[in-house]
Amino acid sequence: MGAVSHIDRSSFEPPYAQLARLLRERIASGEYRAGDRLPSEAELCGTYRVSPMTVRRAVTLLVQEEVAITEQGRGTFVKSPELGAATFDLRDLRRYLDDAGTDVRILEARIVSPSLHVCSKLAVEAGSRVIAIKRILSSDGEPVFYHSEYLVFDPMRPLVEAELGVTALQDLFSGAGGSGLKYGRLTLHASAFTEKEAAYLGEQAGTLAWVVEHLFYDFDDRPESWGRFVGRADRLTFSTTVGIPGAGEA
């Protein structure tokens, strides 16, 4: 059965969380592999000297983490990694936003009549007014992202200078700032630099670019802002882990 650790009763970590961690470690070590049945509730109770409730909570946690799957009448099995369920974060973009060396230059901040495309994104009528903000994000003096953003115009909420800088962008992706946003949708896709984007970033028009679009909604489920980060293809990389890596490989 391999080395068996014990539940530390003096630990602040709850017993069920400890048990889930110990089982996760045994899976990571290869003791249990995809499709293998984990020990039964009675076996786990006896091995780790815990209650059935503790075992059930530990198994529930593993199922929620998609490490294991429970089949009625058969037991709990190690779940195979699902590549199609992999999720990626925007760590590279956040790194630029959080870097003290990142500078934001405002190219434009004014009230405009939106294009039909912006109208459709913000669900506003043609002829209405929106706030258009264009920014260049530079890292150590080198331009890395062109950012365009459109906000629904609210005459009762004047735009202040603090909302134009890098802090405002950090708030969008960290949930800080008390902006009153309910949720957002992010879309990542490849594109080609337009002449304007290429000129600002020192690239050639038509070359490959990554685009991260963001659309944020207020608590009435109405679009509040829509924008695009455009950057060189090598400025954003995406990686994730599927399954459970071994110690030191996370």
* 60 and 158 part of one domain: no
* 57 and 112 part of one domain: no
Among residues 164, 150, 146, the alpha carbon closest in space to that of 224 is found at: 150
pLDDT of residue 116: 95
Burial class (CB in 10 A: 0-12, 13-18, 19+), 138: middle
pLDDT of residue 73: 86
* 147 and 201 part of one domain: yes
Q: CA-CA distance, 155 to 111, in Å (whole number)?
A: 11
* Residue 241 lies inside a defined structural domain of this protein: no
Report whether 222 contacts 213 (CB < 8 A).
no
Q: Is the pTM of this model over 0.75?
A: no
* 189 and 97 part of one domain: yes
Name residue, tokens 């950012």: 147
Among residues 21, 97, 12, the alpha carbon closest in space to that of 58 is found at: 21
pLDDT of residue 4: 55
* Residue 3 lies inside a defined structural domain of this protein: no
Among residues 134, 143, 137, 133, the alpha carbon closest in space to that of 103 is found at: 137
* Residue 55 lies inside a defined structural domain of this protein: yes
* Residue 79 lies inside a defined structural domain of this protein: yes
| CATH code where residue 217 lies | 3.40.1410.10
Among residues 64, 29, 58, 33, the alpha carbon closest in space to that of 43 is found at: 58
pLDDT of residue 178: 46
pLDDT of residue 247: 54
Count of the separate structural domains present in the chain: 2
pLDDT of residue 233: 80
Among the candidates 65, 83, 101, a domain finishes at 83
pLDDT by residue, tens only, the chain of 250 residues: 445 578 888 888 899 999 999 998 888 888 988 889 999 999 999 999 999 999 999 999 999 888 899 998 899 999 887 665 556 666 777 777 777 777 888 898 889 999 999 999 999 999 899 999 999 988 888 898 899 999 888 877 655 444 555 445 656 555 544 456 678 888 888 899 999 999 999 999 999 999 989 888 888 888 988 999 998 887 777 766 666 666 555 4
* 106 and 51 part of one domain: no
Among the candidates 54, 83, 112, a domain finishes at 83
231: number of CA atoms within 13 Å, CB side? Answer: 21
* 58 and 96 part of one domain: no
* 77 and 96 part of one domain: no
* 59 and 167 part of one domain: no
| CATH code where residue 21 lies | 1.10.10.10
- Whole domain around residue 34: which residue ranges? 15-83
* 151 and 194 part of one domain: yes
* 67 and 147 part of one domain: no
* Residue 151 lies inside a defined structural domain of this protein: yes
* 135 and 221 part of one domain: yes
Name residue, tokens 């870097």: 99
Return the structure tokens found at 26.
């045994």
* Residue 38 lies inside a defined structural domain of this protein: yes
Q: CA-CA distance, 87 to 66, in Å (whole number)?
A: 13
Residue 102 identity: T
* Residue 248 lies inside a defined structural domain of this protein: no
CA-only gyration radius of the chain, Å: 25
Among the candidates 43, 61, 83, a domain finishes at 83
* 69 and 97 part of one domain: no
* Residue 206 lies inside a defined structural domain of this protein: yes
